[in-house]
Amino acid sequence: MRYHPIPPTVYKQNRMRFASALQPKSLAVFNSNDIYPISADSTLPFQQHRDIFYLSGIDQEESILVIFPDAFEEKHREVLFVRETNEHIAVWEGAKLTKVQARERSGIQTVYWLKEFNRIFRELSAQCNCFYFNTNEHYRQAVETQTREDRFIDWCKKTYPAHSVGKSNPILQQLRSVKSPEEIEQIQQACNITEKGFRRILSFIKPGVWEYEIEAEFAHEFIRNRSKGFAYTPIIAAGKNANVLHYTENNKQCQKGDLVLMDVAAEYGNYSSDMTRTIPVSGRFTPRQKEVYESVLKVKKEATQLLKPSVIWKEFHLDVGKLMTSELVKLGLLDKADLQNESAEKPAYKKYFMHGTAHHMGLDTHDYGLLHLPMEPNMVFTVEPGIYIPEEGFGVRLEDDVVIQAEGVPLNLMGSIPIEAEEIETLMNS
C-alpha cells in the first residue's frame, strides 16, 4: 500500500450511518471486486470495489463485509471475511492481511478467514428476514460483465429463497455523496499530486512532442508521489483532437500553434481528482485562442459561484447554459437566429458545449450522488465548462474540483494549479 490510510474510526462511522438506515432484522453484504482476466495468465491490476472500501478500508481481493445490526451476538453485528494467507501466497504474491491487520485497518473486531463464510452466513441468515444486496444503480453505469457481487446475489437468492430483499445502493448514494474531513483530505492529496504533474509538463511541452510523451510525464510524477497512477483514462488531445470529448488514443504529435487539452488527474488512496487544462503548445495563445480561453474561464468562475447548498443539479446546468450562451454570442459562434430557433430540449449553446458542467467526485471519478436531491455542504463537485470549435481546429476545457461550503463560495481544491492564461504563458516560457 503506497498511500497513508484514513483512520479506522472514519470507516466505523460510515458503517454506523449505513446500519442506521437498514430496516429491522436486515443483513447487508458487500463483496470485493474480482481480479479481471485479460488472456492466458494475465490479469488487470486489482481495483477494490469502492463500497466495501468506504465501509471498511480493506483494499484486498476476496474480502466480504457483513453488517447486521440486529445479530443476536454483538460480535456478529460487523463481520469481515478475508483471504487466508500462507507461506506459498507470501512467496508468490506477497503476504495478505492477517486478522490483526484487518482489524487495525477496518476497526472491525470480528474477522474470519473467507473459508468460514458459508458456515457463519448460514447461522446469521436464520436471524434475519431481509438481505440488502449491493447492486450498481449509478446513473452512468453500463456494466455488461457479471461481477463477484452479481454472482453472490444469484447464489444467495437460490440458497435462501424465503428472505426478502433490500437495496444498499440508495443508502450509499446519499452517504458517500457527503464527504468527511478525512475524505476531503485524501482528495486534496490527489489534487496536489495532479498539480505536480501539471507543473512538470509546462516546461516539457513544445512543438514536436507526442501526446503519449505528455501522458508519460504525468504518470512519472503521479507514481513517484505515492499514487497508483491515473484516476481515469487520460485525455491528451492536441489540435482538432480536443473536439473528441473522450479522445484517449494519445498518439498524435503536437504541432506549432496547437492547443493541447489535457483531462488528466491522479488518484490517491482510491480517491480521485479530476483536472482539465488547455495550454498552447508553442507557449503563447493566439488572439483567437485566448479569446475563447477567457470565455471558458469566465464561465467556470461564474459557474463555481452557483454551487451552493440547496441548489438542484439540473437547475444549476440550466443556469450555466445561460452563461455559456452569452459567451458564445460574444465570440460570434451564435447569433440571434440561433437563439430564436433553439428549444428547451435542444438549446443553441449545445452545438459548442455538449456535456455537463459538474458531477460528484470522490472514491469514483463520477462519484455517487442522487441528482434530484439538493446539494449539501462537503459534497465535492467538478466544474468543467468547455467550448469546442471543429471548424477552427481546437477546443478548450477547464476543470477544477470544489467542495461546497455551508456559506460562501466553494473551496477550490485545485486553487493552486495554474489556470490564468498569463500565468500559463509565463511558466511555459520561464
Domain parsing of the chain, residue ranges = 8-176, 181-428
Lowest mean pLDDT among 77-86, 165-174, 294-303, 418-427: 77-86
pLDDT tens digits, one per residue of 402-429: 999 999 999 999 999 999 999 999 999 9
52 and 63 in contact (C-beta within 8 Å)? Answer: yes
Domain 8-176 -> CATH class? alpha beta
pLDDT tens digits, one per residue of 321-345: 999 999 999 999 999 999 999 999 9
Q: 64 pLDDT exceeds 90?
A: yes
Q: 90 pLDDT exceeds 90?
A: no
Q: 179 pLDDT exceeds 90?
A: yes
Q: Which residues contact 294 (CB under 8 A, 6 or more apart)?
A: 421
- pLDDT grade, residue 107 (50/70/90)? very high
Considering the chain, what is the average pLDDT of its residues? Answer: 97
- pLDDT grade, residue 57 (50/70/90)? very high
Compute the distance between CA of residue 171 and CA of residue 60 in angstroms, rounded to an integer.
Answer: 23
Q: Nearest 5°: CA angle at 142, between 147 and 356?
A: 140
pLDDT tens digits, one per residue of 338-386: 999 999 999 999 999 999 999 999 999 999 999 999 999 999 999 999 9
Whole-angstrom Cα Rg for the chain: 24
Compute the distance between CA of residue 369 and CA of residue 380 in angstroms, rounded to an integer.
Answer: 10
Determine the pLDDT at residue 143: 85
Q: 173 pLDDT exceeds 90?
A: yes
pLDDT tens digits, one per residue of 117-154: 999 999 999 999 999 999 999 999 888 899 999 999 99
Q: Which residues contact 130 (CB under 8 A, 6 or more apart)?
A: 23, 25, 26, 27, 163, 164, 165, 166
Determine the pLDDT at residue 244: 97
Determine the pLDDT at residue 199: 98
Determine the pLDDT at residue 194: 98
Q: 95 pLDDT exceeds 90?
A: no
Determine the pLDDT at residue 142: 86
Determine the pLDDT at residue 86: 80
- pLDDT grade, residue 254 (50/70/90)? very high
143 and 136 in contact (C-beta within 8 Å)? Answer: yes
Instruction: Answer yes or no: same fold for 8-176 and 181-428.
Output: no
129 and 164 in contact (C-beta within 8 Å)? Answer: yes
Determine the pLDDT at residue 1: 83
Determine the pLDDT at residue 82: 97
Compute the distance between CA of residue 117 and CA of residue 105 in angstroms, rounded to an integer.
Answer: 20
pLDDT tens digits, one per residue of 9-42: 999 999 999 999 999 999 999 999 999 999 999 9
Q: 68 pLDDT exceeds 90?
A: yes
Compute the distance between CA of residue 154 and CA of residue 285 in angstroms, rounded to an integer.
Answer: 57
What mean pLDDT comes out for the span 285-292? 98
Determine the pLDDT at residue 93: 82
Compute the distance between CA of residue 24 and CA of residue 26 in angstroms, rounded to an integer.
Answer: 5
What mean pLDDT comes out for the span 390-401? 98
396 and 386 in contact (C-beta within 8 Å)? Answer: yes
Q: 112 pLDDT exceeds 90?
A: yes
Phi–psi pair at 207, nearest 5 degrees: -55, 135
The CATH number assigned to the domain with range 181-428 reads 3.90.230.10
Compute the distance between CA of residue 89 and CA of residue 96 in angstroms, rounded to an integer.
Answer: 8
Reported pTM: 0.97
